[in-house]
Structure 1
Amino acid sequence: MFFLSPTMLWVLLAAAIPIIVHLLNRRRHRTVKWAAMQFLLKASRESRGKKRLRHLLILTCRALALAALAFAAAQPVVGGFFGLGAGKPDLIVVVLDRSASMESSPANFGHSRREIALMRLKGALKDFSGSRVVMIDSASGQAQEVPSPQVLDELTSTAATDTRADFAKLLGQAADYLLHASGKAEIWVVTDLQAANWHPEDALWETTRAALTTLPQPPRIRILSVAGKDSANQAIRTLSARRAGDTLVLGLEVVRTDEATQPLTLPLSIQLDGATLTDSIAISGQRLQLEKTVPLPPERENGFGWISLPGDGNPRDNVSYFAYGPARPVKSLVVATTGEAATYLGLASAPDGFAGQSAAVSSADQLPELSDLSTLFWAAPLPQGETARDVQQFLERGGQVVFFAPPGDDSSSFLDLSWNPTETSPPEQYWILSQWERGDGLLRDSLDGSPVPADRLRAILRRTPTGDASVLARWDDGETFLARKIVGAGTLWMVATLPDYQWSNLGDADVLLPLCQRAVVAGSKRFETGRLTEVGTSLLSPSASRIDDYPHRDTAEPRFLAGVYRSEDGPLAVNRPTEEDLVGALDPAGLDLLLDGTDHSLFEDNRTSASDALGRPIWQALLVAMLLLLLSEALLCLPKRTPATLATPRPLTRA
């Protein structure tokens, strides 16, 4: 129960007035024993208990009527969101989640979670007329005074966006605002509790908790989670847009964000430079990655478009944008001494029939300029000195480097990674690749689900990598075959053998070709980042204008919306952040851990009516109860009627 005017609870003391008057009246009378009264007392002794009970009921009705009046004056509100309140706050800071995931709608509900939350807030805040309301939205992060709860859904700062949210940062901003505010304050957090927006692993939470708990008047934090089962929903995302001659290769991902598991066929619409293409896809699990090849208009250097799915439970994730520029050759460099390894790596990195791909061979001490390369295949001792610095910069800028076990002695290290000494398998035995990640890395299954036949790999010689890297494949004795380390925007790979038949059969195309081509494709994407970005990145200037004509009715600022924008280098495709498609909510235990030490409470709102209030005022019911108590008191005070047979005198008769 929450009291909007808790100071009026002092009126409860008035409930003691009838009791005090009763006690004072008892002291006014003195008992004088009189012999003639003994007969009357004896006659009325049988009805004395009934009279006492009647007087106690009258006294109780009077006291309860005054108590009901006091409670009604304090304006109590009951409801899960308000919980046990401590009075109306002077300031309410509303932290509103405007991320793309808030546009999803609960099942059998005609509004998005953001719209439901605004309806709830409007109903709750109208009872806080004496409190100042300030809103911090997740898109801008700016504090804004709310002139009236009734205009909440009309503000630009509450409109739908394609942004992410960072609650560790938002609650820290709320604490900074309260540091300069006076009076009692509360923080109301409106969210769908998507775990990706709360970043539980973020070290910033420690600073945020300290900022909230060390305020002069630590605020109460109320969290409204707009819960409920999700409507059926599928999200589409553009992973890459790569030009290959006169065609555009689109790397796409479709994610089912609901809990449905049955196979589903979806119509696909591709809009490219004003032309519309239609297709369909079949998804049987929760996630599907695929490629679509689209012919490009002749002699067209720049262009853009979008790919969309039918409307469903979240309209914000039904479309993804792409842009393309002039064709760019894909160059790779093989660093190795002349021999089988250099030959096979050159063939696998630029095979015949792969248009636009080329590969050169170089030694480590004559390394050319790396800025226009996509991938480095390194079958030599690890780079040192200035060469190491050049390779590290290449990685940080999005390049891919695949290190193969070097022949000869090499005890050097690079980025805290090194090679163990060369090992030879037992006589007439091989090391066999038995474990590898099928959904990630260079040996992952193809888009149609076909596996790479990595189990055919046999090795006589190997050098296993050591250092801080993730293992994605192992030999049959558990030793590492393939390791990965993320360096800036690029990736470093280490392969524990050589494509040389004195070492292994890695030179066979069935394993080496997909391994090298996936590295080449990943490396070439660093040249596409100028055409494909996410909302909230610095690539989009504040003055950029939107040039796509996808039908929308957005009222938020353009910098918070996905679309195709005009930039200095041509069209720029801006999409919602990747984490907005991640499924999974933060559980109450996780929330308690993040807000440990603060006065917080969680209310999961899963009601089916958008007009339901967050709390229910009950002062009207208390007034009705007071009237009933006063009426009962009046009825009990009525004099007892004397039967007519006792009031009529009996006639005298003669004896």
Structure 2
Amino acid sequence: MAFLNPLLLFGIIGIAAPIIIHLLAKKRIKRTLWAAMKFLKIVVEKNQRRLTLEDLILLILRCLVLIALALAMARPSFKQGGFGGFGGSNEAAIILLDHSASMSQSDGAASKFDKAQKAAEEALDALPSGSSVAVWLVSDVVKNVIPEPTRDFALARKVIREAQRSDRGTELPAALRQAVEVMQRQTTAVKQIFLLTDGQAAGWKQLADTRLLLDSVKQDIQTRLVLVGESEQHNLGVTGLRMSSALAPVNQPVRFEVEVANYGVEEARNVQVSLGVDAEPPGDEAGIESIPPGESKRLSLFVQFRDPGFHSVTAHLPADRNPADDQRAVAVRVIGEINVLLVDGDPGVEPRESEVFYLRNALVPVPPEQREKYYIKTKTISPADLQTAKLSDYEAVVLANVLDLPEVVLAGLEKYLRAGGGLIVFPGGRMSVTFYNEQLFTERGFLPAAFGPPRGEAEQQEKFFHLQTKNYEHPIVSIWKDPAAGTLGTANFYRAFLLQPAKSDVPRPDIGPPALILKYEDGQPAVMERTWGYGRVIQFSSTADSAWNDLCIRPIFVPLIHRILGAIVTRQDEHLNLRVGTKLSYVMDSEMLGKDLTITKPGAKKDATSLRRVTLQAGLPLLQLDETDIAGVYDARIGDDAVPALRFATQSDPAESRLEELSPADLKVFDGVAQIIRWSPEHSLRTALQKERTGSEFWLAFAILALVLAVAETWFGNRWSRSK
């Protein structure tokens, strides 16, 4: 038996009152002499036994009334299997509050996260006085706001109420493992873990391991899974948004590819998708006729940028009950001008004999009178001029059949690539294969592949080989998956070097693995790439001119070169778009070094900002930010500048849009190791937990008993007083 209000048991002391009154009444003796005294004495002596018994019964009834009232007010309860004692024992608990993106789902009045917060407060209220509690926000990482159990319930309540939902993914078994480790260090007799979540199946990838963990500690730690919210049957989400145009110039249509998935159980029809720039109204809109359940569809939309600099593009769907995936944003650096440095290793006598003649015209495919206004600018120099060239003024540097490079140029290229520059290497008959393999491949790791022996003869143009005609997987050439875009397989190659890719199992800091862009029809690599620092290197196996192939005179050469240039220019921009929770690390202009930038998060108020300083890291001016838990667009400004110095975006994991919940079979995994509680606003978690802790209360029985005893005392008192 336990008493929820044990202090009120002191009310039992009140039974002393009627006893004292009874004793005092017996001692009040009044002597009176009168004639009939002898007769009365005989009567009293005759009835003394009965009167004493009646007084004793009334005294007992009055004492029992007070005892019953005290017991009723102390709220006694009884739990089968043992006695709770007077007031129970102190407990230690950890409240794990799921704040992942899936918790944004709403029933129209409140989100699952709102409900989880309310349930967490009820769990807090259910803990006995003197207990301690920790509060963690969990998703695919643990944010232990109150890392260790504390008796400061006011702080715990404040943390729960002020908690914010994130757009992170879900990985709850890891959070449970950490919570178990903390609980095992506690010395209290009763230890509990409360996990408040929506039960999304995607967040439980290790159910069997989780059961083993909870089973190993079930004697010491009680785990409760509190499931909030109702199941949802309909959800459309924007699961992909990327720029499919090679570059994003000013005042030209830029194509974006939007992917929309149907996570519901019914077919979605006439789905409207819109695309907008920055905070402006949507600039393009289109509809998807039908999306079957469990499938996704893609469509292309176009926008135009009026100004160079950093912009955001957002794809929108009509609002539904899962707002977290109704839109998706990406950041784009709009190019006002792209400068390309062409290093001509074999200029020839006539302009057409230049190694970069076709390349220069492919980069600027407009009439001479329009070249000044075109957004790509080229400059051609000789290899000797490379030593004095300021590489940082160019987005890309092209080495076309260059013999070799002095050490000072190699050092400059290394610094240039590390800061985000781009390098394109075309071989030729004049280049030193030994130098490229030793210095650019082995020593510095610039090249994704070593140049092997050449195959084919340039003079025997009746013998040729082709590029692949299908399976264009690399993003640079993926547009040729569409037959309407043509094919790269029409170009004739007469001579090319075999490319021998670097071993990707040898890790090198800041150097990415080699990647295949294009291959020949026999499977040999034709074009390869690798990232180096914040830059990118593209390596061709054949020449930039028509000496070894006729690719340069084919119409497909223009879009191919533009897409390669786009991959180089957007290499640094890859860091503008991050998965939610990923640390931002962006190379700023050198003049930004040491300056403080004001960071504004998505949806934040103007006063809800933070400051970050551009610092020198590994010789580069970097802006770094860890807090990227919210999906959307982030701005970094200097003071009150209207134009952001940087704009970047984060995107949530599409898996958070899935509606599948833990099945009954999944929930059975927790049988015997954890308690499953389905919470709803109509059922108080506090009441349920207190009842489970203390058992069934029966204060009402004592209250009724007190009433019955009081009525009996009154009835007997009146009856016996009349007889007297």
| Per-residue deviation, 1:422 | 0.9
Residue in 2 that maps onto 1:371: 392
Q: Give unmatched runs, 5+ long, in structure 1.
A: 6-67, 76-86, 201-210, 593-598, 626-655
Residue 507 in 1 paired to residue 552 in 2? yes
Residue in 2 that maps onto 1:135: 135
How far apart are the structure 2 equivalents of 1:385 and 1:587? 61
Matches within 5 A, 1:538-549: 544=598, 546=600
Matches within 5 A, 1:493-504: 493-504=538-549
Q: Give unmatched runs, 5+ long, in structure 2.
A: 4-77, 207-212, 348-352, 505-513, 587-594, 611-626, 699-724
1:55-92 deviations in whole A, cap 9, x for unaligned? xxxxxxxxxxxxx95338579xxxxxxxxxxx999433
1:351-371 deviations in whole A, cap 9, x for unaligned? 226831112234455433232
Q: Is the CA contact 1:437–1:443 (under 8 Å) kept in the aligned structure 2?
A: no
How far apart are the structure 2 equivalents of 1:317 and 1:137? 21
1:601-643 deviations in whole A, cap 9, x for unaligned? 78999x7967678997786998699xxxxxxxxxxxxxxxxxx
Residue 318 in 1 paired to residue 326 in 2? yes
| Per-residue deviation, 1:557 | 8.2
1:409-453 deviations in whole A, cap 9, x for unaligned? 513115263122111289955333236554532111279884451
Residues 470 and 277 (structure 1), Cα distance of their counterparts in 2 relative to 1, 3 Å cut: closer
Residue in 2 that maps onto 1:359: 378
Matches within 5 A, 1:282-301: 282=288, 286=296, 288=298, 290-294=300-304, 296=306
Residue in 1 that maps onto 2:465: 431
Residue in 2 that maps onto 1:24: none
Selected match of 2:515 from 470, 474, 486: 470
Question: What is the TM-score normalised by the length of structure 2?
Answer: 0.56
Residue 421 in 1 paired to residue 475 in 2? no
Residue 235 in 1 paired to residue 238 in 2? yes
Residues 322 and 88 (structure 1), Cα distance of their counterparts in 2 relative to 1, 3 Å cut: farther
How far apart are the structure 2 equivalents of 1:601 and 1:384? 69
How far apart are the structure 1 equivalents of 2:202 and 2:392? 34
Residue in 2 that maps onto 1:53: none
Secondary structure of 1:141's aligned partner:
strand
Residue in 1 that maps onto 2:532: 487
Q: Is the CA contact 1:163–1:577 (under 8 Å) kept in the aligned structure 2?
A: no
| Per-residue deviation, 1:567 | 0.6
Residue 266 in 1 paired to residue 272 in 2? yes
Residues 327 and 496 (structure 1), Cα distance of their counterparts in 2 relative to 1, 3 Å cut: closer
How far apart are the structure 2 equivalents of 1:375 and 1:473? 20
Instruction: Pick the structure with greater CA Rg.
Output: 2
Residues 90 and 255 (structure 1), Cα distance of their counterparts in 2 relative to 1, 3 Å cut: farther
Letter in 1 for 2:560: L
How far apart are the structure 1 equivalents of 2:560 and 2:103? 39
Residues 545 and 460 (structure 1), Cα distance of their counterparts in 2 relative to 1, 3 Å cut: closer
Question: What is the TM-score normalised by the length of structure 1?
Answer: 0.60
How far apart are the structure 2 equivalents of 1:380 and 1:586? 57
Residues 89 and 322 (structure 1), Cα distance of their counterparts in 2 relative to 1, 3 Å cut: same
1:159-178 deviations in whole A, cap 9, x for unaligned? 23345678799679768866
Secondary structure of 2:546's aligned partner:
coil
C-alpha RMSD of matched pairs (Å): 5.8
How far apart are the structure 2 equivalents of 1:346 and 1:532? 31
Residues 401 and 555 (structure 1), Cα distance of their counterparts in 2 relative to 1, 3 Å cut: same
Letter in 2 for 1:288: R
How far apart are the structure 2 equivalents of 1:518 and 1:280? 26
Residues 610 and 245 (structure 1), Cα distance of their counterparts in 2 relative to 1, 3 Å cut: same
Residue in 1 that maps onto 2:67: none
1:316-374 deviations in whole A, cap 9, x for unaligned? 33345678899631112234423465222222233226831112234455433232322
| Per-residue deviation, 1:461 | 1.6
| Per-residue deviation, 1:123 | 5.5
Residue in 2 that maps onto 1:401: 423
Secondary structure of 1:523's aligned partner:
helix
Q: Is the CA contact 2:498–2:524 (under 8 Å) kept in the aligned structure 1?
A: yes
1:267-310 deviations in whole A, cap 9, x for unaligned? 4263656666563354866263645223638xx98987865332
Instruction: State, as a whole percentage, how many aligned pairs show the same letter.
Output: 16
Residue 344 in 1 paired to residue 358 in 2? yes
Residue in 2 that maps onto 1:575: 649
How far apart are the structure 2 equivalents of 1:452 and 1:195? 43
Residue in 1 that maps onto 2:715: none
Secondary structure of 1:310's aligned partner:
coil
Residues 117 and 464 (structure 1), Cα distance of their counterparts in 2 relative to 1, 3 Å cut: farther
Letter in 1 for 2:298: L
Residue in 1 that maps onto 2:53: none
Secondary structure of 1:235's aligned partner:
strand
How far apart are the structure 2 equivalents of 1:194 and 1:488? 39
